[in-house]
Structures are given as structure tokens and as C-alpha cells.
Amino acid sequence: MNVKRVLDSLNLHQIRTELADHYHREGPGRTPTNPLAMLKAQLAKHLLNIISDRRLALRLRSDHRVAKACGFRRRTPSHGLFTHFRHRLGEETYHKVFNRLTRILIESGTIIGKVLAVDSTHIEAYSGRAMDNRVGRSDPDARVGCGKRGFILGYRVHTVCCADSATHSLRGDTV
């Protein structure tokens, strides 16, 4: 898959304004790293199946074509800056932006979506409940579900992937 062609084909005008709301425009402080370049790097991470921010930072540092396609010129960000970027946007905005990007990729024909692969896994939640279930602490968003060895308290994370282009289409969290 040609990452540069995919990233160049995106019309990110609406997303640019949504990202800009999370950054300061004037006043003291450093000039922020281009949020659009950071978003393109996160998309490249998914397209190239890079498993961590640290490996993404190394790939951008060593592969100048990918770095340039994302919008970085001389210096590429460290792995910590990618984590900071996601935290700055917040989980809800990050998923909303990625779902909008997925829609744009489907409409442009980059993601065909004819063959979808679905996978899910359990993620256990912290629970300090007593056996009588009357005292203790627990995650209020967690649900009881069926796990490999009986019932678990936690989440079920689903991933839908376009098998033709190997890009993640949708991600949701439920039990």
C-alpha cells in the first residue's frame, strides 16, 4: 500500500479545524507540532501495522518518505509526543476523528469494504468487590460478560477491518 498516495488523497479541511481547537493559537509557549502531521502519522501507524508509538517514531526517523508524506520536514516527533497528542485530543475526539477519516477513505475508494474481518477480545476491569457484592469498589462502566474461563467483569473490544486493504474500519467498546 502506498502510504503517501493514501495520505495525499485525504481532504482534511474539516478535521484540521477540529484539531486546531485543542491547540493554543497565540500567547506564550512553544509553537506546537503540526497537529495534522501528527494525525497523518497516527494513520500511517495503522496503515503500516506499526504496533507502538516508539516504533512509529523510529520509522519516521529512518524512513524520510513516510515522514515527508505525514508532513514532517527536518525533525520528527519522539514517541512521547504521539502519546501526548492522543491525550490532548481525548479519547472521544480521537475516535470521532478516526471514524471520520475512515469514512473519507471509504468514499475515496481507498478502503473497499467488500470483505470485512471482525475480531474481539476481553479486557478485564479492576474490581475490589467482596463476594457478597455489597461492599467494595468497581469500574461503573464495566459489564459482566462471558470469558474463556467463566464470567468476567470488564469490556469487550471489537475491531472491524477491511480485509482487502488491511485497514481498521471501526472500533467500539462493549461487553
- From first to last of its 175 residues, what are the pLDDT tens digits of the chain? 577 877 777 777 777 777 777 776 677 777 778 888 888 898 888 888 888 999 999 999 999 999 999 999 888 999 999 888 888 888 888 888 888 887 777 777 776 666 667 777 777 777 776 666 666 677 777 777 776 777 777 777 777 676 666 555 444 444 4
The residue extents of the domains of the chain are 3-108, 116-174
What is the pTM for the complete model shown? Answer: 0.63
What's the DSSP call for residue 12?
-
Helix, strand, coil shares of the chain as percentages rounded to 5?
40, 20, 35
